[in-house]
């Protein structure tokens, strides 16, 4: 994991999107009801069942709870003072909201597969899971008041998607309603993602598309996995430095657009590539256009930011 980058923290996004090409709900088939927080290693001094310390073994069980309440995934490192500040603010939010969210703390150094699943290239990185779908929140230290605003917005998104439970309510335990099984090739892809085998996941999605070219979930999943492949072992600071020094270097700009999208900075990623399209030609322009379309797939076709960017792309091209 690289050290946190120090770009200014953005304002809360105006619209969060639940589209998750990596559908973490696929892990539910392996899950059972999680043990009490105390048995999972809840942080010292945090006397609440709404904060858990997650490992790769207990992660599927925690994801299962996202059908009941939003699950906040806090990827931290003991090497990062900023992580400690963010963790304290998140634990306060979990306590105040009294079971309407679950905070899942993940030591990114000890559990790199979980960090990779959320495309984390720096710490702290915080995301959420709602109904099995990952929702990026932020990838740097942000003030407590901004964390509060983001979680409030997340809960509004969760409510709009029917996730309105509480961990303290009767019947709030996971596993009470069985979901339809995933298509075999989608299950194969998700299992490969969990194992860190992005090549295998991409191959499974390509097989699914060969069988059903109109499979939108497989198309989005493939775009997401290819993003994971590109960002694997990425050094965020080095990539951003290279892009700043060479604004017309197509590879450098594509790499930073990937970083921006993975960190939840969707409009930054789109705008970077649209500007690049306006000043490139031939094969380079086509490469950038195709990458932008992939990022549209990951974000989701109904996201208003995608619609806005499509209009800007058309202007840049014509």
Angstrom distances, CA of residue 313 to CA of 273, 317, 318? 9, 6, 9
State the Rg of the chain over Cα.
Answer: 19
Cβ partners under 8 Å of residue 162, min gap 6: 131
Give me the mean pLDDT over the 159-163 stretch.
82
* Alpha-carbon torsion (17, 19, 24, 26), positive or negative: positive
Angstrom distances, CA of residue 221 to CA of 2, 129, 231? 26, 16, 15
Phi/psi of residue 129, nearest 5 degrees = -130, 125
Say how far apart CA 203 and CA 198 lie, in whole Å. Answer: 8
Q: Over the stretch 233-272, which tens digit does the pLDDT of each residue have?
A: 788 889 999 999 999 999 999 999 998 887 678 899 999 9
Helix (H) or strand (E) holding 316: helix 304-317
Cβ partners under 8 Å of residue 218, min gap 6: 185, 186, 189, 205, 208, 209, 212
Q: Over the stretch 35-62, which tens digit does the pLDDT of each residue have?
A: 333 333 333 334 356 898 988 778 877 8
Q: What's the confidence (pLDDT) of residue 49?
A: 66
First to last CA, the chain: 41
DSSP E strands, the chain: 51-54, 71-76, 102-107, 125-130, 133-138
Q: What's the confidence (pLDDT) of residue 68?
A: 85
Say how far apart CA 38 and CA 114 lie, in whole Å. Answer: 21
124 preceded by cis ω (within 30°)?
yes
Angstrom distances, CA of residue 255 to CA of 17, 68, 173, 215, 229? 22, 36, 41, 27, 12
Give me the mean pLDDT over the 27-39 stretch.
34
pLDDT at 312 over 90: yes
Q: Determine if the pTM surpasses 0.85.
A: no
Helix (H) or strand (E) holding 276: helix 266-278
Mean pLDDT of the chain: 79
| CB neighbours of residue 151 within 10 Å | 25
């Amino acid at each position: 994991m690289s050290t946190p980058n120090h770009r200014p923290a953005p304002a809360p996004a105006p619209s969060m999107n639940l589209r998750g090409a990596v559908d973490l709900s696929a892990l539910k088939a392996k899950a059972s009801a999680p043990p009490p927080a105390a048995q999972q290693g809840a942080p010292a001094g945090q006397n609440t069942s709404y904060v858990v310390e997650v490992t790769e073994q207990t992660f599927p069980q925690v994801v299962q709870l996202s059908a009941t309440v939003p699950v906040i995934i806090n990827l931290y490192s003991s090497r990062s003072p900023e992580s400690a500040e963010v963790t304290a603010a998140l634990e306060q939010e979990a306590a105040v909201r009294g079971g309407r969210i679950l905070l899942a703390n993940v030591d990114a150094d000890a559990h790199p597969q979980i960090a990779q699943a959320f495309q984390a290239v720096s710490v702290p990185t915080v995301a959420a899971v709602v109904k099995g779908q990952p929702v990026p929140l932020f990838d740097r230290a942000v003030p407590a008041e901004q964390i509060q605003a983001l979680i409030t917005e997340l809960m509004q998104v969760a409510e709009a998607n029917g996730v309105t439970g509480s961990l303290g309510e009767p019947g709030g335990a996971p596993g009470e309603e069985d979901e339809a099984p995933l298509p075999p090739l989608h299950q194969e892809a998700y299992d490969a993602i969990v194992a860190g085998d992005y090549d295998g996941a991409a191959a499974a999605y390509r097989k699914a598309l060969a069988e059903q070219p109109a499979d939108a979930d497989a198309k989005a999943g493939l775009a997401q996995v290819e993003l994971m492949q590109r960002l694997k072992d990425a050094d965020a600071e080095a990539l951003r430095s290279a892009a700043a020094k060479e604004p017309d270097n197509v590879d450098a700009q594509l790499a930073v657009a990937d970083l921006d999208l993975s960190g939840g900075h969707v409009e930054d990623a789109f705008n970077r590539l649209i500007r690049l399209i306006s000043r490139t030609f031939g094969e380079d322009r086509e490469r950038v256009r195709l990458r932008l379309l992939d990022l549209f797939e990951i974000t989701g076709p109904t996201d208003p930011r995608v619609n806005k960017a499509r209009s800007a792309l058309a202007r840049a091209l014509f």
